[in-house]
Structure 1
Amino acid sequence: MSGLDRLAGVLRLRPGAPRPQNLRNDRPDWAGKLTQGKAPAEVPGLLASLYSLCGHAHRLDAQMALQAAQHGDAPVDAAAARTLQHETLCEHVRRICLDWPAALSPAAAPGATRSLQVCPSLRVRDADPGDTRLWLQQHLLAMPPADWLRGWESSPGWWADWSEGSPGWLPALARDARLAADWPVSAAAPLHVHADVASLHQLAASLRDTPSFTRQPRWQDHEAETGSWTRVNDAARPMPATPWQRLGARIAELVRLSLPDESGRSGTGWLAFGARQVGPGEGLAWAEMARGLLVHHVILDEAGRVAAYQVLAPTEWNFHAHGPVATALEQLHPAQGALAQRRIAALVAAYDPCVRFEVEAQPTQEERAHA
């Protein structure tokens, strides 16, 4: 294992093996160790650097959790909402244009690269929203984003109809990916722990009282999943049935974030975030970001320094040893050859972990006998 892997961790997938032997997540829990005894002002920058892939969301959560622990609940900040919208939009663009061609359809790579190079939101932090919408229309959707979203919201078959009938590298990628990604997987419960105050206090108690909770979280005695398809503002929508539909949900969220603000539907009105003081000197913060729901929990000591800190990331829910990805891996087997490899790639692209993954072969009968 490389030094980087020891620092960041690796997901090890073993398709065809039963749970919990088919998925191992050895991602280290650095937050508590590195923040112990720190002054609150030091923590947001430290965690944003540690979790640099989603640094903006970690900085926001850390700031909110510490603010709540020190001063109590605070109203939602409009500037923070705008930053979360912008950074989440950019993260979706990077994953769709960089990761998806490599994992799902190499033929799409040239078009995706050209699109990425001219994305206004990546080139200019305060890009005109209209420029981003025009970029989406010309480079990804082949139609106005508002029309795309109306189709997505109104018809369960829209994702398939659009990919089959539209020109461009992204619809072509979606068509290619469907061959491997449109297979049924058992969904876990959608993670909505931030939907009400009682659930937030229950989550804080689990983080406070169960040291291993951030490594193998469960909610109300069940595994859960989180992603752009489990937003509290979309709770009435049925859970996706396949990895391919989850990929569609990621594009739908990118579109929503590009549109003007509308509470519960688009712009800064789409992603939920906030913080609460859940005890004396104890704060809990949450933010819906590109990979799912991110939670930070902090307890301060009498001197106002960090006594305990926990980060609960989307990867730990989705790649739980008994969670949705592990359940799907039971259906696959290396003997399926290239199809199994493509299905694994699609599954991982849909759930989008924040660390590298490796696919391992199952132990042979002789190896099992010696174990």
Structure 2
Amino acid sequence: MSATMLPGEGSVSVRLWLDGGRDGMAVQRAEVATRRPRAVAALVGRKAEEAVRLAPLLFSLCGSAQGLAVARACEMALGIDATCHETARALLTDAESLDSHGWQAMVEWPAHLGAPPRPSALRDLRAAVSAILPALYPGKDGLRPGGGALRPDILVLRDALARMAGWLDAAVFAGPPPQDADDLARWAMGSGTDAARLAARLMSPDLAGWGGCGVPLLGERSPDWFAAALAGDPAFATAPHRDGAAALTGPLERQADHPLVVSVTERFGDGLVRLFAARLADLAELPRRMEAAIAALRPADPVAAGSTGPGEGCGVAETARGRLAHWLRLDGEDRLADARMVAPTDWNFAAGGPLARGLAGAEVRGRDDAVKRARLLVAMLDPCIACGMDVQE
């Protein structure tokens, strides 16, 4: 089985070896390999501002976060302090994350239920998301080294947020988001949304704890940590690790302390339903965080470079899928002499990482069941990557 490769994002291939006996069938061994075109190489030789403009075009997913991570890396290399733009930037990437989660809820989650996708249901959400950038930066120049002319239109931003929150309430939750495991069970059985129906399926005894991997959460957010890792070892971009061990990034990392996730973990342990609860918590928290950002916004002007000449920098940005980091080195003419990145896919689908360890030893009911379960785990860890499956018995 195969899936179409996404431009700039690549794909993952999963090979499973099943072993059956008197006590049932299980995944004896799992191999995970990622094939991601190193589009970041196209940034080498570009001027800093050109590289920032190009980054969102090179990657099919999370374009704002990609551009922002490159912009932050350039700012570090050029000695630019763009702190005055960070609130607006967080608002941009949060809106992008809501759009990404929304796509999953309307297109990918129905597929796991055997239901038709509903991309037309995203029309109102995407119209609201697209209003954010011009309401922050009328010149649409916010994602550049030093930022653009930040002139927030608070009325437009609040209207856009109200439309996003209204869409989320109607299309995903159909009421207040669940706050604990009991809430989740009631919501799963009483709401008619695809999200609730998928929650009901994942809470079934044979799936709730399936795919638990025991991999620690990444936790690292410091650009300096990512800079040391990426600059010190070119192989880190394709085989990332924290202190020599695998790590998990994404909604679970961000929402591990959310009451819903804590309650679900206590009841079901590690596994599919825990990962899904983290995605629901991530969705529910986005409007609140965006509301606080809008309240904190202040006008700001572009910030000029504090230095010229060779320099290095690393930028980190959050995406719906997890943490993204870009590292780069400038030459004497402010062109990128080297560029490296590590994406959520590189962490979650690393050899020996969360997906591989979640699959190894997991119980299944045969080839078709193994494929369905593996695809569910892929969707909970990194739903935006194309995935091919090969199963051997």
TM-score range, shorter chain: 0.7 to 0.9
Amino acid corresponding to residue 160 of structure 2 in structure 1: D
Alignment of 1:343-358 (within 5 A): 343-358=373-388
Match in the other structure for 2:92: 83
Match in the other structure for 1:368: none
TM-score (norm 1): 0.80
Report whether the alignment pairs 1:62 with 2:77: no
Match in the other structure for 1:192: 219
Question: What is the rounded CA distance, in whole Å, between the counterparts of 2:253 and 2:5 in structure 1?
Answer: 31
Report whether the alignment pairs 1:95 with 2:101: no
Q: CA deviation at 1:116?
A: 2.7
Find the residue that maps to 1:158 and give its secondary structure.
Answer: helix
Find the residue that maps to 2:62 and give its secondary structure.
Answer: helix
Match in the other structure for 1:142: 174
Give the conservation status (yes or no) of the 8 Å contact 1:140–1:170: yes
Give the conservation status (yes or no) of the 8 Å contact 2:310–2:333: no
Unaligned runs of 5+ in 2: 19-26, 133-158, 297-306
Amino acid corresponding to residue 88 of structure 2 in structure 1: A
Question: What is the rounded CA distance, in whole Å, between the counterparts of 1:68 and 1:105 in structure 2?
Answer: 46
Residues 289 and 120 from structure 1, CA distance in 2 versus in 1: closer, same or farther, beyond 3 angstroms? Answer: closer
Q: CA deviation at 1:353?
A: 4.9
Match in the other structure for 1:273: none
Match in the other structure for 1:229: 252
Q: CA deviation at 1:358?
A: 0.5
Q: Which of 112, 117, 121 matches 1:115?
A: 121
Q: CA deviation at 1:295?
A: 0.6
Match in the other structure for 1:29: 38
Q: CA deviation at 1:7?
A: 6.4
Match in the other structure for 2:208: 182
Find the residue that maps to 2:237 and give its secondary structure.
Answer: coil
Question: What is the rounded CA distance, in whole Å, between the counterparts of 2:219 and 2:289 in structure 1?
Answer: 25
Find the residue that maps to 2:73 and give its secondary structure.
Answer: helix
Question: What is the rounded CA distance, in whole Å, between the counterparts of 2:360 and 2:61 in structure 1?
Answer: 29
Alignment of 1:263-274 (within 5 A): none
Find the residue that maps to 1:361 and give its secondary structure.
Answer: strand
> Percent identity at matched positions?
27
Q: Deviations over 1:275-305 (max 9, x none)?
A: xx9x971111111110000111111112221
Give the conservation status (yes or no) of the 8 Å contact 2:103–2:119: no
Question: What is the rounded CA distance, in whole Å, between the counterparts of 2:294 and 2:380 in structure 1?
Answer: 22
Q: CA RMSD in A?
A: 3.3
Unaligned runs of 5+ in 1: 270-276, 365-371
Q: Which of 65, 74, 80 matches 2:82?
A: 74
Q: Which of 235, 241, 249 matches 2:270?
A: 241
Question: What is the rounded CA distance, in whole Å, between the counterparts of 2:97 and 2:345 in structure 1?
Answer: 16
Match in the other structure for 2:243: 220
Higher deviation after alignment, 131-140 or 52-61: 131-140
Question: What is the rounded CA distance, in whole Å, between the counterparts of 2:120 and 2:7 in structure 1?
Answer: 34
Amino acid corresponding to residue 45 of structure 1 in structure 2: R
Alignment of 1:300-319 (within 5 A): 300-319=330-349
Report whether the alignment pairs 1:125 with 2:126: no
Find the residue that maps to 1:189 and give its secondary structure.
Answer: coil
Find the residue that maps to 1:258 and give its secondary structure.
Answer: helix
Q: Deviations over 1:157-180 (max 9, x none)?
A: 432332123333331232234446
Question: What is the rounded CA distance, in whole Å, between the counterparts of 1:79 and 1:88 in structure 2?
Answer: 14
Q: CA deviation at 1:80?
A: 1.0
Residues 172 and 232 from structure 1, CA distance in 2 versus in 1: closer, same or farther, beyond 3 angstroms? Answer: closer
Question: What is the rounded CA distance, in whole Å, between the counterparts of 1:115 and 1:37 in structure 2?
Answer: 41
TM-score (norm 2): 0.75
Aligned residues: 338
Find the residue that maps to 2:121 and give its secondary structure.
Answer: helix
Q: Which of 270, 295, 304 matches 2:325?
A: 295
Match in the other structure for 1:52: 60
Question: What is the rounded CA distance, in whole Å, between the counterparts of 1:324 and 1:220 in structure 2?
Answer: 16
